[in-house]
Amino acid sequence: MDRLDNTIRPYAWGSATAIPALLGTDPTGEPQAEMWMGAHPGAPSRTARGTLTELIDADPERELGPAAVARFGPRLPFLLKLLAAGAPLSLQVHPDLAQAREGYADEERRGVPLDAPHRNYKDANHKPELICALTEFDGLCGFRAPAEAAGLLDGLGVASLKPYVDLLHARPEDAALREVLTALLTADPEEMSRTVAEAAAACERLGGAHAPYAGLAHHYPGDPGVLAAMLLNHVRLQPGEALYLGAGIPHAYLSGLGVEIMANSDNVLRCGLTPKHVDVPELLRIVRFEAGDPGVLRPEASEDGEEVYDTPTDEFRLSRYVLPEGAGPHDLTRPAPQILLCTAGAVRVGADTLAPGTSLFVPAGETVQVTGVGTVFRATVRV
């Protein structure tokens, strides 16, 4: 087993205090948005034997196991993170696997540099993801029913929003959502900025269900993403609850600390709440214009105490163990790679003790038992 030394990303939206509080370190005054655990080329975890990428490259079958290599190739197929949102992230969607391969190949053919600001596809992989709340966690996930979105917009009393309200009432669900999102993202920027300012003032005055959007407008004044966000379900997770975000589902994280796991990809198409590139035609090709419940997940407990967050994705499997005083050891040995992350208490893994925010990489098939009092998350793959 290898203790991981992980990179913390200082993205501007990150909380300055949440990750330091978990780690028991002093804040630096700078945002600390994400701590990455895995073998992503952008920031691979470090070990005493080299980076996790170097370990896996040297002997993929030893580190990952033959079954994982046969299914996913000679690379760790997931990325685990601590995510601390102090301000809203961009409103975004991710492609499915076929769309990612097609989009990546197209941009490669056209010679779009990988680091170009208008590049959509950084790799040929999909990016399903799961966020599990460690604190109360606010987010946006999936479309509301058009009638519900129309009511939220109409309640603002902003005259320039009436055409969008009428469209939401008049069209079938998929057409209504598509036409309104398209109209919001392609409207005249100056006119849209004025509409967003009026809407933000109304949200501030009304509060209640409108309150989250006043906060968005504070961070992104004039951004059409403020209104696009009102088409989506607002979700408040309690600690231990989770959201699964599949391909084509528009979403944004607003605030809170959580454990996030995803397929090892960096493909993002943005809908708003960002100064970055928004490719409207490509976005509209990827978004699934389907209203529905966001589907808050709660873990399913097994007889051995493992609590599993069940998703349809094979590249990752996230679970947790909440270890009480006096509990016997739990055997976590698996024929697949694992990353273990402690988020509370003191968890003993073999001869090592994990404090909150510390993590280990466990090669496939290596015997591993956990004891102690605390909470440990287990990231692995389905094989």
DSSP state, residue 50: E
User: CB–CB of 252/90 below 8 Å?
Assistant: yes
How far is 77 from 40, CA to CA, in rounded Å? 9
β-bridge mates for residue 359, sequence order: 341
How far is 263 from 253, CA to CA, in rounded Å? 18
Coil, strand or helix at 270: strand
User: CB–CB of 179/166 below 8 Å?
Assistant: no
Closest CA to 359 of 77, 128, 39: 39
> Side-chain half-sphere of 47: how many Cα atoms within 13 Å?
20
Closest CA to 362 of 335, 330, 325: 335
> Side-chain half-sphere of 188: how many Cα atoms within 13 Å?
5
Q: What is the largest CA-CA distance in the chain?
A: 66
Dihedral sign for Cα atoms in the order 136, 139, 144, 149: positive
Catalytic residues: 270
How far is 316 from 39, CA to CA, in rounded Å? 14
